[in-house]
Structure 1
Amino acid sequence: MKKIILTLCMLPLLIWVQGCAPATYEIEGYTASSMNPDIPVPTNAKLIENIAYSDHPTLKEGVKYELKHIGGEQGLYPPMDYFQKLADTGWVELQEERMGHVHFLKKDTTVIAIEIREDTFQITELVKGAME
């Protein structure tokens, strides 16, 4: 009888723990960004919007994508495999410039900012000389 009662008490705890497991994202491969072909983006990321910064002194253009759970819970966990892919294609993260959810990367003379949120990420290209 004690085993049955113990099992019944443990069942809700097990269900609760399973329900609190973080949801994960899945990258199915990479394709070129619609903004800049040198920037890889996950093929299963959905383009949400193209952004023009015609009157901004340091921002050139941007794109926003949706990919469920890419940033983990509340966007607190950057997708390390995506950043590894960026590094493999020549992008170097400027660690000292990072600001919370925003990561800055440089390749040749191009600097981009990638803002990671829970279900979206935005890539913004900065104008030449903006980070100098």
Structure 2
Amino acid sequence: MKRILIPILLLASMVMTGCVYQFTEEDGYRMSVINNGFPVPKNAYELQPEDCTTEIAKSAKYSLENIGDEEGTPPEDYLEEIQNWGWAEMEDKRVGHVHYFKKEGKIISLIIQKDIFDVFEMSDEVKF
């Protein structure tokens, strides 16, 4: 019985390890669920988003291993990709690990943490 159990456990651990979502530039990007023009890493796993408020029109929360470091700094490749999609960072509005991007009158807030990130589309009531 032990001879059968050990290989099954090894196989199960290999399968589970293969399902870990981790940031890599090579995997590419896709459209976020809240704004078709804003990129998120293709292998990010969508979680239950935060509730919207009067300042936040839409929200999405994603899990992705190594998306940010301990201070919430996003990978440089990801910031470049956001700019490649036509978004301009509002660097003067950045607060810690909260980044703001603007495109065609829309403002997106990107909050990076170690293995989780949030994307918020700000409501029209927010003035910067």
With the length of structure 2 as denominator, give the TM-score of the two structures.
Answer: 0.76
Once the two structures are superposed, residues 58-101 of structure 1 have per-residue CA deviations (whole angstroms, 9 ceiling, x without a partner) of 111110001101102x1443211111001011100000100101
- Alignment partner for residue 58 of structure 2, among 57, 61, 64? 61
Separation in structure 2 between the aligned mates of residue 42 and residue 78 of structure 1, nearest angstrom: 12
**1:131 shift after superposition:** 2.6
Q: Which amino acid aligns with 1:33?
A: S
- Is 1:43 equivalent to 2:50 in the alignment? no
- Is 1:103 equivalent to 2:102 in the alignment? no
Once the two structures are superposed, residues 24-63 of structure 1 have per-residue CA deviations (whole angstroms, 9 ceiling, x without a partner) of 831311111111111111110000123441xx22111110
Separation in structure 1 between the aligned mates of residue 59 and residue 47 of structure 2, nearest angstrom: 11
Number of residues of Structure 1 aligned to a counterpart in Structure 2: 106
Change (3 A) 1:46 1:75: farther
Separation in structure 1 between the aligned mates of residue 60 and residue 110 of structure 2, nearest angstrom: 10
Contact 1:71 1:117 in 2 (8 A): yes
Runs (5+) with no aligned partner, structure 1 = 1-23
RMSD: 1.6
Residue matched to 1:25:
23
Q: Say which SS state the counterpart of residue 96 (structure 1) adopts.
A: helix
Separation in structure 1 between the aligned mates of residue 33 and residue 39 of structure 2, nearest angstrom: 9
With the length of structure 1 as denominator, give the TM-score of the two structures.
Answer: 0.74
Change (3 A) 1:66 1:75: farther
Q: Say which SS state the counterpart of residue 50 (structure 1) adopts.
A: coil
Runs (5+) with no aligned partner, structure 2 = 1-21
Contact 1:58 1:126 in 2 (8 A): yes
Contact 2:88 2:103 in 1 (8 A): yes
Alignment identity in percent? Answer: 31
Separation in structure 2 between the aligned mates of residue 82 and residue 49 of structure 1, nearest angstrom: 22
Separation in structure 2 between the aligned mates of residue 131 and residue 103 of structure 1, nearest angstrom: 15
